[in-house]
Amino acid sequence: MLGSVLTAGLFGIDAFPVECEADLSNGLPSFDLVGFLSSEVREARERVRSALHNSDISLPPSRLTINLSPANRRKAGNSFDLPIAVCVLTAAGLLTQKQVDPYLFSGELGLDGSVKPVNGAISLCACAKACGRKAVILPAENAAEGAASQTLPVYGVRSLTDVLRFLKDPHLYAPVSPEDYPSLPADVPDFSDVIGQPGAVRAAEIAAAGMHNLLFSGPPGIGKSMIAKRLPGILPPITLSEQIEITKIYSVRGLTRGGLMTHRPFRSPHHTISPYALAGGGAVPQPGEISLSHRGVLFLDELPEFNKSALEVMRQPMEDGEVLISRTNGVYRFPARFMLAAAMNPCPCGYYPDRKRCRCTDADILRYQGRISRPLMDRIDLRVTLSSLNYRSMEEGPHAEASSVIRERVTAAAERQRARSGGKPVFNASLTGQALEEAVSLTPEARSTLRALYGANPHSMRSHHKLLRIARTIADLEDRQTIGDAELSEAWFLRNTGVPGNEGGEER
């Protein structure tokens, strides 16, 4: 007898359909799995055999062959146990083909017949819809995540026995409803804690409004990391489409908490991170920190202390918005449209240019700053230098505005950008080509200022476009349709006067 059910495998962050076929025939008792399988999928034979036995399901002694099709695509992961078990039950006549055809199945089986969670639930639901299925059967721990995508009804099961009951009488179960989560994480520190540094706070607001890359430089303990870690509290609200994008990435890594990721991510890896952990990789490539920061912030503290090869791996994703990893079985694409926030000291001791405290030689300073190449520095939009505060400033303030106040302005600016892009979540930092030309309208005075600035300071085309994007964001914060002299001058200042030197950065 034959039986077949639909399941799916993961390739990158997307799922592809897999047909699980079972053939139960006469012959010596055996249980064979075929179809270009990884070792963990081959081990499903023992898990399925024990799960059926411990669920009080008896099969006649016979030759059992399982095929996972297509045979030319490698299947890996722990999600094929449940579909194999259901397929075996269909081939044995305990279920009918009509009962299993409307669904896509996915789940790992315990030896006692329990159904355990898998990765990539939201991608599996998208695959089921593309294949024309009516619903998805997932482990109970993954059901809320799958339901949150609002693509198909999702049913959560906890055991193989639950699956049998459901398939024989679907009316006994109700599909899982998406869970609601707060719009902001509760543990984000507030900008009102920041004393002084109005220039840095202003730069953080502009960066958040347009999702621009940002670099703080200054002496140790001056507030660089403090301000950067408060960015999540002022980032623009996240749309449903962005939530789904982020959740797909985290789900593949097994980092979701049972529903959609409703907050923009904030990742802060240690400076000892390897290029592979930052960009992603492995025998079966997984998203790295760059992709885990998609639609959010990647914060690199002590930027020059990072391995140079790790920093250089960010250059292509910062421009293209995705990470490409090539393997013999294909090219893996991971989204990587993130905002880079970084902090650094101006020299090894941290006190340059204060020569009363700084004892670094000119060669030491150039060597230290040269750890960040010029091409990478050119990709950072805003570069701000923070200065030390005197005792009176520390004691009397002023304190920065509350995050909620800043976020109102950022949200309004983000809505203007979204309206300009036809409702899509496109921020000024990502504008290119025709979209950038249409968004940027300079007043005659601004054009004259720009001509004068470039006459004395030649710049690259990338730098020119970044300047216009920053000015466009400043104008959005001020609710102005055109970019005036004030917006352009502030953008020039924030882009070109922040970080000292970098003469040591290599040209590439």
**CATH no. for residue 116?**
3.30.230.10
Q: Do 166 and 262 lie in a common domain?
A: no
- What residues pair up with 456 in beta bridges, in sequence order? none
Domain range for 97: 2-172
Q: Is 75 left (phi over 0), alpha (psi -120 to 50) or beta?
A: beta
Q: Do 115 and 212 lie in a common domain?
A: no
DSSP, res 75: B
pLDDT at residue 508 greater than cutoff 60: no
59-113 confidence digits (pLDDT tens): 888 899 999 999 999 999 999 999 999 999 999 999 999 999 999 999 999 999 9
Q: Do 61 and 129 lie in a common domain?
A: yes
Give percent of the chain above pLDDT 90. Answer: 75
382-429 confidence digits (pLDDT tens): 999 998 877 676 776 788 999 999 999 999 999 999 999 988 889 999
Q: Do 197 and 167 lie in a common domain?
A: no
pLDDT at residue 500 greater than cutoff 60: no
- The pTM of this model reads 0.90
- Determine contact, residues 437/472, Cβ cutoff 8 Å: no
Q: Do 165 and 215 lie in a common domain?
A: no
Residue 427 in any domain: the answer is yes
pLDDT at residue 182 greater than cutoff 60: no
Longest dimension (CA), the chain: 90
Q: Do 147 and 217 lie in a common domain?
A: no
Residue 457 in any domain: the answer is yes
pLDDT at residue 183 in the model: 56
Residue 505 in any domain: the answer is no
pLDDT at residue 502 in the model: 43
pLDDT at residue 260 in the model: 83
360 — phi, psi (to 5°)?
A: -75, 140
State the Cα–Cα distance between residues 19 and 410, nearest whole angstrom: 47
Residue 183 in any domain: the answer is no
Q: Do 125 and 212 lie in a common domain?
A: no
State the Cα–Cα distance between residues 350 and 344, nearest whole angstrom: 8
The tally of domains found in the chain comes to 2
- Determine contact, residues 324/311, Cβ cutoff 8 Å: no
- Determine contact, residues 402/205, Cβ cutoff 8 Å: no
pLDDT at residue 474 greater than cutoff 50: yes
Q: Do 142 and 248 lie in a common domain?
A: no
pLDDT at residue 504 greater than cutoff 70: no
Residue 400 in any domain: the answer is yes
Both tokens of residue 18? Answer: 């897999």
Q: Which residues of 21-57 are buried (b: 16+ CB within 10 A; e: fewer)?
A: bbbbeeeeeebebebebeebbeebbebbbebbebbeb
Residue 240 in any domain: the answer is yes
- Neighbouring CB atoms inside 10 A of 239's CB total 15
Q: Which residues of 120-151 are buried (b: 16+ CB within 10 A; e: fewer)?
A: bbbbbbbbbeeeebebbbbbbbbbbbbbbbeb
Q: Do 158 and 247 lie in a common domain?
A: no
Instruction: Supply the mean pLDDT for the chain.
Output: 91
Residue 186 in any domain: the answer is no
Binning pLDDT at 50, 70 and 90, where does residue 501 land?
very low
Residues 6+ apart with CB under 8 A from 4: 19, 20, 21, 22, 87, 90, 97
Binning pLDDT at 50, 70 and 90, where does residue 259 land?
confident
Query: Dihedral (C-alpha) 491, 495, 498, 500: value to the nearest 10 degrees?
Result: -150
